[in-house]
């Protein structure tokens, strides 16, 4: 199965539309809940297998590993172009894996499971589409497509304040993406005027020479959409609500994937399209990232709901990722992407464990939890492992990314890195407080004393192995990243 | 010359009559004043060279619509929202309308009697019924058909709204 | 033309405004309809005036249509008044305020 | 040879993983056997590859851990003389402690978790010792922190233990921050994080950067070795089981800081200011800890403070520029302090799990062997002549005195005073615990054998530790400084001043013993005065830090949460939403069903249009 056999067969489109086929089947099999579950599991496993196959069989190259380009809406120059390079390959593998985990963890979903799993699969299509699309309109389409299933996932299957959280999430992201649409269209028109050819292709739009004011304006519009999604400091208030109210599958996807689409958007679209504006905005980006890093950590320290603590911790980690991007050099960017993938795995695992805790004790309030180690040692052991990974213990997942970011940032801006290092301390404080309140201390009385069941073992073991493996030997993740990042950085102007 | 003078007088009468019409508490009084105002308006139309319209004004507005108003007011026994304090003695209420009627009558006489131009029929430019008829049924034939539809719909509508009335009242009566 | 066009227009504007005041000021449905009648007549006057001014017959034909429309309108609105009076046993418009936000 | 080195490191890891993952499924005794086997195997492997450690040492690189762009951090092991003796000490003491722990934890239900963590701890400690680059050392550094967190909070049932574990982890993590910044800076400067590479190219740097970097490294070392600014966690860490205190808080973890400074000695020694600060921190901590130990009521807290004091001495040794003195004291201290801790464990068991020394006493009759071993440890701690402790402490004080300038003279004086206090509190402990009659209530049964005989080798090493680095004054040829080939810091003092120094040391020892003898010979219950309460609470540092750091931090978090998050960010959004709703309500009220209002609307509209056209017509 050499790489060239892939070029004839449109494997990217297959990868993209497979989940949608799964959705249709789920909806068809709406009557029996069993059908929905197994179909979803089947589809996600096939997508995961396909992504792994791609990951292993394609050779690493700077440009696009796979590229597909068909004309779509001719009059407006909108083309159906999909491209996969090292970065999007890894993010797609992460997506496929986390969706599989999401399906497995919400296995005993009793409230209209057919629809629930259909929404998860639509979400998967949306996310994979975002990571593959190279035509701005196609990208925008998938960017919006992601929004709708997540809105329903939070709004229908969430917890108490789900409607509030869903609407807030929807309005925030929609506001951002409207700015994005505005910028895309005006860029399209501007490009058309200058060069005569009206197209939305990313490569073509890079050539439009904009005055500084225009470039800054477009850059801000793009960044508004992506900063809200990341979320960067001032726009983050939707995340804690969305996370705490979302069902476990929703929060795994939200934390694991949706936040990554924001960062991916920055790297793929915002920075290459407007390099000089990007360079000017780096200090502001770094300052916002640092504020977000500390601010979220301080707030997480006093939260009483463990899911909310993990939500704030993801804001803090994404602040770290953005700091890496702002340092604008090879090591920092590789660190950021590595931390993104590690964070996806660890936070996804944390949410899975929190769901298990909630299923056993019926609550997520820190005051009512305690001493879970006595009744559920195995689960608590996994919980301890994932918390340690999340607070950046060396040898586990997040540390590898964080140390690379720190090294990269120290080379270009020593002060930023020194400040960021203090952030790592605060992440330890709130994580340890959470661990202390849930598994150590006097025992609360969980009404379901049972430790992990076989299905839960099936989810947790791969996650734990991945967390340890990403921490100890992240080279296989860093190799495909190296060339695409150097390519993006060279386009960005600075070495 | 007298035509312009007459126009101003009639204009004054119309304005005064309308003013009095809208001040009235009692709708019946208002209708009476309004009829008077419409007559004055008809004369103005006539002065402006639109004898057909003047005639129709009298027939349709003063004749049909105001009568319909009166009919409805009578039928519904709408008690006049008159405040007892101000009601003048019986005959006093009729003084203003009486004066207006006299003024109007004198204008019509003036119009028909004295002005030589009118003596030999009609003022300088006027739309005689002949060319009015020609214009109406040659250029606006289609418009006439549509207006006839309109009147038909109005009739059906009024009938329907009115008929609904009995069925509902029977139901109310019975329940 | 016997009178300068401006005077004619002034007269019709006065009439129109009187009709308007009648519509706005009164509570009684019938009086409102009368006000509307006055306004329509003012428009009729303007049309006739314009037809006299331009010495064209079209203005007068328009007045004819206007009258047709007015009679249709009056018939339906009075039917409605009767209906409303039967429903609420009053013709004061303040009682008919179900159509509110 | 390389296989042996990798085995030294990986055996404890293997033991830890086996226990952690499959411990519960193995039959009862297996986890203990696996753990002990792993550590003893690692000790033997370390012995095996000891021979090749002389000279420039043995290197092996397992695999590349992290490499991106110019940054290259691979898992490489370096066994040079310094690392060899340290590794030997760590694995040796650890295997003895594991045997002791097998006896100590016999009746505990959660043994697998204990031994898994203990093995992982030894692995992490060995990573620090054997790492050839700073990042791998940092991995060991934090791994040790995590394992001590897990082990201190082992009896997690009551929250104090877990809280003590958390406190230890966070305070050491503060130290780790300085270490990280130092590491980043070194990489930014030299482009590599290999320890030998850095020590090699260190000459070309300007002094200020060297000073700052060494101070950062000192910060990291202070965090881990519980020195002055970051020392509040060590006394609370006694909440863990005794083998943990013996291993972590006597022999290995606390000495990691000293080991880091010794490892980076070529870098640190280049800036006199940094050396001065290290010496000062060391001697002040020694004084502080010694005074606190005087007033402690619990047996393990006395030993904890004495550890802090002795590690202060090691910092002093590094501060005055003698790596061999530091390592010498580190070794002897490891032996007699772990001996003392384990003996304390036996004493606690004998006194029916009673920690408070005021409620003990008369343990001599309970068990002659434990009493004897405990006294040996105390003698070494107090620095009785001819014992290991005496020689190592005397060497440090002599090196300090040999420096000659006023600053080092003052340090020498403080050092001697602290030595006096040390012998005072060690004999106080001895008398209170062993002299007089038993003041506790019930008398439990005897000790399991495993808790007694591992103490013997340590007692021997403690007593005869002096032979390791016997100064030529007493006929030795200071083998250790030769082995560490750090001949530069051999003392060049005139003969009689050396006699004078050791004489004062003996005098101070006797003086301390005398006071303790007079005061604590017969136990008399004194109400605790103001000073002893102050000392008991460790100079109120805990309360001081609480008020200075923790309370403002909690206030800051509350401000961030309630003030900024709920108030500002959410407030803005909710406020915006509320205004929209209120405007909607206002507009809704406008359509109140009154027809006249609607007509007015028409008229306003009409006026607007007319006005607009008028304007257009006029303009």
Partners of residue A302 in chain D, C-beta under 8 Å: 554, 557-558, 561
- Beta carbons of D170 and A411 less than 8 Å apart: no
Range of the domain at D376: 278-526
pLDDT at residue A1, rounded to an integer: 42
- Closest-CA residue of chain D to C26: D596
For A202, the token pair is 């990313």
Q: Beta-carbon neighbour count of residue D275 at 10 Å?
A: 22
C interface test, pick of B15, B45, B135, B152 with most C CB neighbours within 10 Å: B45
| Residue D249 near residue D238 (C-beta atoms within 8 A) | yes
**Alpha-carbon distance C41 to nearest alpha carbon in chain D (angstroms):** 19
A221-258 residue pLDDT tens: 999 999 999 888 888 889 998 998 999 888 898 888 88
- Closest-CA residue of chain C to B124: C1
Which of A236, A302, A417 is closest, CB to CB, to D557?
A: A302
Helix (H, G, I), strand (E, B) or coil at D59: strand
Query: Is there a domain that residue D169 lies in?
Result: no
pLDDT at residue D444, rounded to an integer: 62
Using left for φ > 0, alpha for ψ between -120 and 50, and beta otherwise, residue D471 falls in beta
**Alpha-carbon distance D610 to nearest alpha carbon in chain C (angstroms):** 14
Task: Say if residue D514 is in the same domain as residue D438.
Answer: yes
C-alpha D142/C-alpha D224 separation (Å) is 10
Which of B8, B56, B61 is closest, CB to CB, to C64?
A: B56
A285-309 residue pLDDT tens: 999 999 999 999 999 998 899 999 9
For D488, the token pair is 């530069």
Which of D20, D170, D569 is closest, CB to CB, to A432?
A: D170
C interface test, pick of B40, B65, B172 with most C CB neighbours within 10 Å: B65
The confidence band for D117, taking pLDDT boundaries of 50, 70 and 90, is very high
C-alpha D11/C-alpha C89 separation (Å) is 100
* Average pLDDT of the segment spanning D139-156: 90
Helix (H, G, I), strand (E, B) or coil at A78: strand
Which of B34, B135, B161 is closest, CB to CB, to C79?
A: B161
C-alpha A23/C-alpha D106 separation (Å) is 57
- Looking at chain D from residue 337 to 396, which residues have their Cβ under 8 Å from any Cβ of chain A? none
Query: Is there a domain that residue D462 lies in?
Result: yes
Partners of residue B19 in chain C, C-beta under 8 Å: 18
A259-278 residue pLDDT tens: 999 999 999 999 988 888 98
B18-57 residue pLDDT tens: 999 998 888 888 999 999 999 999 999 988 888 889 999 9
Query: Is there a domain that residue C50 lies in?
Result: yes
pLDDT at residue B89, rounded to an integer: 64
Partners of residue C23 in chain D, C-beta under 8 Å: 599
**Alpha-carbon distance C39 to nearest alpha carbon in chain D (angstroms):** 14
Partners of residue C34 in chain B, C-beta under 8 Å: 21-22, 27, 30-31, 34, 69
Partners of residue D593 in chain C, C-beta under 8 Å: 96-100
- Beta carbons of A473 and D65 less than 8 Å apart: yes
Which of D141, D143, D166 is closest, CB to CB, to A436?
A: D166
- Beta carbons of C101 and D603 less than 8 Å apart: no
**Alpha-carbon distance D253 to nearest alpha carbon in chain A (angstroms):** 17
pLDDT at D528 over 80: no
Give the chains touching B; criterion: ≥3 Cβ pairs < 8 Å: C
Total of domains in chain D: 2
C-alpha C85/C-alpha A245 separation (Å) is 55
CATH of the domain at C29: 1.10.287.3510
C interface test, pick of B4, B8, B46, B53 with most C CB neighbours within 10 Å: B53
- Closest-CA residue of chain B to C67: B60
Partners of residue A418 in chain D, C-beta under 8 Å: 181, 184
| Residue D436 near residue D522 (C-beta atoms within 8 A) | yes
Which of D593, D599, D603 is closest, CB to CB, to C99?
A: D593
pLDDT at B169 over 80: no
Which of D594, D600, D603 is closest, CB to CB, to C97?
A: D594
Task: Say if residue D459 is in the same domain as residue D558.
Answer: no
* Average pLDDT of the segment spanning A3-14: 70
C-alpha C81/C-alpha C32 separation (Å) is 11
* ipTM attached to this prediction: 0.77
Q: Is D588 on the interface with C (CB under 8 A)?
A: yes
* Average pLDDT of the segment spanning A382-401: 91
Q: Beta-carbon neighbour count of residue B165 at 10 Å?
A: 16
Give the chains touching C; criterion: ≥3 Cβ pairs < 8 Å: B, D
Exposure string (b/e) for D483-510, b if CB count within 10 Å is 16 or more? bbebeebebebeeeebeebbebbbebbe
- Closest-CA residue of chain C to D594: C97
**Alpha-carbon distance D256 to nearest alpha carbon in chain A (angstroms):** 17
CA-wise closest residue to D345 among D461, D245, D462: D245
What is the separation, in whole angstroms, between the first and last Cα of chain A?
37
Task: Say if residue D424 is in the same domain as residue D504.
Answer: yes
- Looking at chain D from residue 6 to 25, which residues have their Cβ under 8 Å from any Cβ of chain A? 20, 24
More confident residue, D446 or A358: A358
Q: Beta-carbon neighbour count of residue D201 at 10 Å?
A: 14
Helix (H, G, I), strand (E, B) or coil at D49: coil
Task: Say if residue D488 is in the same domain as residue D590.
Answer: no
Task: Say if residue D434 is in the same domain as residue D572.
Answer: no
Mean pLDDT of chain A: 88
Task: Say if residue D488 is in the same domain as residue D562.
Answer: no
DSSP states of D210-267:
HHHHHHHHHHHHHHHHT-GGG-THHHHGGGS-HHHHHIIIIISHHHHHHHHHHHTHHH
Query: Is there a domain that residue C97 lies in?
Result: no
Task: Say if residue D445 is in the same domain as residue D572.
Answer: no
pLDDT at residue D475, rounded to an integer: 65
D242-268 residue pLDDT tens: 888 888 878 888 889 999 999 888 888
Q: Is D114 on the interface with A (CB under 8 A)?
A: no
D318-346 residue pLDDT tens: 988 888 888 888 888 898 898 899 888 88
Q: Is C43 on the interface with B (CB under 8 A)?
A: no
Mean pLDDT of chain D: 86
Q: Is C20 on the interface with D (CB under 8 A)?
A: yes
Q: Is C98 on the interface with D (CB under 8 A)?
A: yes
More confident residue, A450 or B44: B44
Mean pLDDT of chain B: 81
Range of the domain at C50: 5-92
Task: Say if residue D390 is in the same domain as residue D517.
Answer: yes
Query: Is there a domain that residue D92 lies in?
Result: no
C-alpha A256/C-alpha A263 separation (Å) is 12
pLDDT at B87 over 60: no
C-alpha D334/C-alpha D90 separation (Å) is 9
Compute the count of residue pairs across chains B and C with CB atoms less than 8 Å apart.
174
Query: Is there a domain that residue C87 lies in?
Result: yes
Residues 6+ apart with CB under 8 A from D609: none
| Residue A397 near residue A470 (C-beta atoms within 8 A) | yes
pLDDT at residue A148, rounded to an integer: 92
Task: Say if residue D370 is in the same domain as residue D421.
Answer: yes
Mean pLDDT of chain C: 89
Query: Is there a domain that residue D369 lies in?
Result: yes
**Is the pair A, B in contact (3+ CB pairs within 8 Å)?**
no
**Alpha-carbon distance D608 to nearest alpha carbon in chain C (angstroms):** 16
Query: Is there a domain that residue D177 lies in?
Result: no
Which of C24, C94, C100 is closest, CB to CB, to D599?
A: C24
C-alpha D270/C-alpha D430 separation (Å) is 43
- Beta carbons of D593 and C98 less than 8 Å apart: yes
Total of domains in chain C: 1
- Beta carbons of D592 and C97 less than 8 Å apart: yes
Task: Say if residue D336 is in the same domain as residue D479.
Answer: yes
Task: Say if residue D520 is in the same domain as residue D580.
Answer: no
**Alpha-carbon distance A298 to nearest alpha carbon in chain D (angstroms):** 5
Which of B50, B151, B161 is closest, CB to CB, to C51?
A: B50
Helix (H, G, I), strand (E, B) or coil at A340: helix
* Average pLDDT of the segment spanning A165-177: 92
C47-83 residue pLDDT tens: 999 998 888 888 899 999 999 999 999 999 999 888 8
Partners of residue D588 in chain C, C-beta under 8 Å: 101
The confidence band for A441, taking pLDDT boundaries of 50, 70 and 90, is confident
Partners of residue D596 in chain C, C-beta under 8 Å: 24, 93
Query: Is there a domain that residue D145 lies in?
Result: no
**Alpha-carbon distance D582 to nearest alpha carbon in chain A (angstroms):** 18
Contacts 24+ apart (CB under 8 A), A178-187: A179/A220, A179/A221, A179/A222, A179/A224, A179/A225, A180/A140, A180/A143, A180/A221, A180/A222, A180/A224, A180/A225, A181/A140, A182/A221, A183/A217, A183/A218, A183/A221, A183/A222, A184/A136, A184/A137, A184/A140, A186/A218, A187/A136, A187/A218, A187/A273
- Beta carbons of A473 and D166 less than 8 Å apart: no
A468-479 residue pLDDT tens: 999 888 988 888
Which of B48, B49, B161 is closest, CB to CB, to C80?
A: B161
């Amino acid at each position: 199965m050499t790489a060239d056999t892939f070029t004839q067969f449109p494997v990217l489109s297959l990868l993209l539309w497979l989940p949608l086929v799964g959705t249709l089947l789920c909806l068809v099999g709406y009557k029996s809940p069993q059908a929905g579950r197994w179909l979803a599991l089947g589809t996600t496993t096939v997508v995961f297998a396909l992504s792994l196959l791609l990951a292993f069989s394609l050779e690493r190259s700077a440009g696009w590993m796979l590229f597909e380009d068909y004309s779509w809406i001719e009059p407006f120059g909108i083309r159906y172009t999909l491209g996969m390079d090292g970065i999007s390959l890894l993010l797609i593998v992460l997506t496929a894996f986390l969706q599989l985990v999401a399906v497995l963890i919400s296995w005993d979903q009793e409230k209209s499971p057919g629809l629930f799993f259909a929404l998860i699969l639509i979400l998967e299509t949306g996310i994979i589409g975002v990571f593959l699309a190279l035509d701005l309109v196609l990208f925008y389409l998938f960017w919006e497509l992601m929004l709708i299933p997540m809105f329903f996932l939070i709004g229908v299957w969430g917890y108490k304040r789900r409607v509030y959280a869903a609407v807030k999430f929807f309005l925030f992201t929609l506001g951002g993406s409207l700015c994005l649409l505005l910028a895309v269209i005006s860029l399209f028109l501007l490009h058309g005027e200058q060069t005569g050819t009206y197209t939305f292709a990313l490569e073509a739009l890079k050539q439009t020479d904009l005055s500084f004011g225009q470039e800054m304006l477009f850059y801000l519009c793009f960044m508004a959409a992506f900063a809200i999604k990341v979320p960067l400091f001032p726009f983050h208030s939707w995340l804690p609500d969305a996370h705490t109210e979302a069902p476990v599958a929703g929060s795994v996807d939200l934390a694991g994937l949706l936040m990554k689409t924001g960062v991916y958007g920055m790297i793929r679209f915002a920075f290459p399209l407007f390099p000089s504006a990007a360079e000017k905005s780096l200090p502001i980006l770094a300052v916002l990232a640092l504020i977000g890093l500390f601010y979220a950590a301080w707030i997480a320290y006093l939260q009483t709901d463990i899911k909310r603590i993990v939500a704030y911790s993801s804001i803090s980690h994404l602040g770290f990722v953005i700091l890496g991007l702002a340092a604008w050099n090879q090591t920092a960017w590789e660190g950021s992407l590595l931390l993104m993938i590690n964070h996806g795995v660890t936070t996804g695992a944390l949410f899975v464990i929190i769901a298990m805790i909630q299923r056993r004790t019926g609550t997520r309030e820190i005051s009512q939890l305690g001493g879970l180690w006595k009744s559920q040692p195995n689960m608590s052991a996994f919980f301890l492992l994932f918390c340690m990974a999340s607070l950046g213990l060396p040898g586990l997942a997040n540390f590898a990314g964080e140390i690379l970011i720190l090294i990269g940032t120290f080379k270009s801006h020593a002060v930023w890195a020194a400040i960021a290092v203090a952030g790592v301390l605060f992440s330890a404080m709130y994580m340890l407080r959470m661990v202390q309140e849930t598994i150590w201390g006097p025992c609360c009385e969980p009404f379901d004393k049972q430790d992990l069941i076989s299905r839960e073992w099936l989810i947790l073991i791969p996650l734990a192995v991945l967390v340890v493996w990403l921490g100890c030997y992240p080279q296989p993740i860093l190799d495909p990243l190296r060339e695409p990042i150097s390519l993006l950085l060279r386009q960005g102007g600075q070495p | 010359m007298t035509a312009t003078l007459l126009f101003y007088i009639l204009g004054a009468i119309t304005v005064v009559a309308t003013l009095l019409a809208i001040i009235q508490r009692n709708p019946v009084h208002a209708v009476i004043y309004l009829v008077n105002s419409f007559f004055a308006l008809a004369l103005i139309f006539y002065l402006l060279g639109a004898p057909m319209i003047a005639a129709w004004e009298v027939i349709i507005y003063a004749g049909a619509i105001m009568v319909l108003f009166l009919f409805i007011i009578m039928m519904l026994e709408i008690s006049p929202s008159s405040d007892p304090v101000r009601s003048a003695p019986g005959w006093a209420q009729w003084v203003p309308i009486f004066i207006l009627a006299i003024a109007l009558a004198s204008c019509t006489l003036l119009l028909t009697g004295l002005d030589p131009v009118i003596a030999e029929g009609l003022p300088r430019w006027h739309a005689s019924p002949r060319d009015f008829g020609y214009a109406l049924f040659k250029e606006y034939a289609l418009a006439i058909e549509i207006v006839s539809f309109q009147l038909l719909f109005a009739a059906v509508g009024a009938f329907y709204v009115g008929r609904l009335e009995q069925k509902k009242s029977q139901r109310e009566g019975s329940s | 033309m016997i009178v300068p066009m401006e005077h004619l227009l002034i007269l019709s504007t006065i009439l129109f405004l009187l009709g308007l005041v009648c519509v706005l000021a009164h509570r009684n449905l019938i009086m409102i309809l009368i006000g509307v009648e006055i306004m329509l007549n003012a428009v009729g006057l303007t049309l006739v005036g314009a037809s006299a001014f331009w010495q064209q017959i079209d203005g007068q034909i328009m007045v004819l249509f206007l009258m047709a429309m007015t009679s249709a309108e009056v018939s339906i609105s009075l039917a409605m008044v009767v209906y409303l009076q039967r429903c609420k046993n009053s013709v004061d418009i303040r009682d008919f305020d179900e159509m509110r936000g | 040879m390389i296989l042996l080195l990798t085995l030294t490191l990986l055996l404890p890891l293997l033991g830890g993983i086996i226990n952690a993952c499959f411990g519960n499924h193995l039959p009862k005794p297996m986890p203990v056997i696996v753990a002990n086997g792993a550590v003893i195997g690692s000790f033997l492997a370390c012995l095996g590859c000891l021979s090749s450690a002389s000279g420039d040492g043995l290197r092996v690189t397992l695999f590349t851990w992290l490499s991106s762009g110019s940054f290259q951090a691979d898992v490489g092991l370096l066994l040079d003389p310094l690392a060899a003796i340290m590794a030997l000490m760590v694995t040796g003491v650890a295997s003895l402690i594991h045997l002791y722990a097998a006896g100590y934890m016999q009746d505990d239900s959660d043994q697998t978790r204990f031994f898994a963590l203990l093995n992982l701890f030894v692995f992490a400690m060995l990573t620090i010792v054997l790492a050839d680059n700073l990042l791998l050392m940092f991995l060991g550094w934090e791994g040790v922190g995590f394992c001590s967190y897990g082990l201190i909070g082992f009896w997690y049932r009551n929250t104090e233990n877990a809280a003590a574990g958390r406190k230890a982890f966070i305070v050491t993590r503060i130290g780790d921050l300085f270490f990280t910044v130092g590491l980043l800076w070194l990489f930014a400067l030299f482009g590599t994080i290999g320890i030998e590479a850095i020590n090699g190219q260190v000459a070309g740097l300007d002094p200020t950067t060297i000073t700052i970097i060494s101070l950062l490294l000192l910060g990291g070392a202070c965090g881990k070795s519980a020195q002055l600014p970051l020392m509040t966690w060590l006394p609370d860490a006694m909440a863990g089981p005794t083998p943990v205190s013996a291993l972590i808080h006597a022999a290995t973890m606390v000495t990691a800081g000293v080991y880091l400074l010794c490892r980076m000695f070529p870098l640190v020694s280049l800036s006199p200011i940094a050396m001065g600060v290290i010496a000062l921190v060391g001697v002040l901590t020694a004084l502080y800890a010694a005074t606190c130990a005087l007033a402690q009521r619990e047996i393990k807290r006395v030993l904890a403070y004495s550890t802090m004091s002795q590690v202060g001495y090691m910092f002093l040794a590094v501060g005055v520029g003698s790596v061999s003195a530091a390592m010498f004291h580190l070794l002897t201290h490891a032996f007699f302090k772990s001996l003392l801790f384990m003996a304390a464990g036996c004493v606690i068991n004998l006194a029916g799990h009673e920690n408070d020394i005021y409620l003990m006493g008369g343990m001599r009759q309970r068990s002659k062997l434990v009493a004897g071993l405990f006294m040996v440890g105390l003698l070494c701690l107090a620095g009785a002549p001819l014992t290991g402790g005496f020689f190592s402490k005397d060497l440090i004080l002599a090196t300090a005195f040999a420096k000659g300038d006023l600053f080092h003279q003052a340090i020498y004086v403080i050092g001697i005073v602290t030595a006096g206090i040390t012998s005072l509190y060690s004999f106080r402990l001895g008398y209170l615990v062993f002299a007089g009659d038993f003041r506790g209530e019930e008398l439990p049964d005897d000790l399991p054998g495993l808790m007694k005989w591992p103490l013997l080798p340590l007692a021997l090493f403690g007593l005869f530790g002096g032979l390791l680095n016997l100064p030529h004054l007493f006929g030795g040829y200071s083998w250790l400084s030769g082995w560490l080939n750090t001949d530069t810091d051999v003392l060049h003092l005139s003969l009689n001043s050396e006699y004078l120094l050791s004489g004062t040391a003996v005098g101070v020892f006797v003086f301390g013993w005398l006071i303790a003898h007079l005061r604590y010979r017969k136990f008399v219950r004194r109400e605790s005065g103001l000073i002893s309460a102050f000392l008991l609470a460790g100079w109120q540092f805990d309360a001081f830090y609480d008020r200075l750091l923790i309370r403002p931090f909690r206030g800051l978090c509350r401000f961030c949460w309630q003030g900024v998050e709920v108030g500002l960010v959410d407030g803005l959004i909710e406020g915006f939403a509320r205004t929209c709703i209120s405007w909607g309500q206002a507009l809704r009220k406008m359509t109140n069903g009154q027809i006249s209002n609607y007509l007015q609307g028409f008229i306003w509209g009409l006026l607007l249009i007319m006005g607009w056209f008028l304007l257009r017509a006029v303009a």
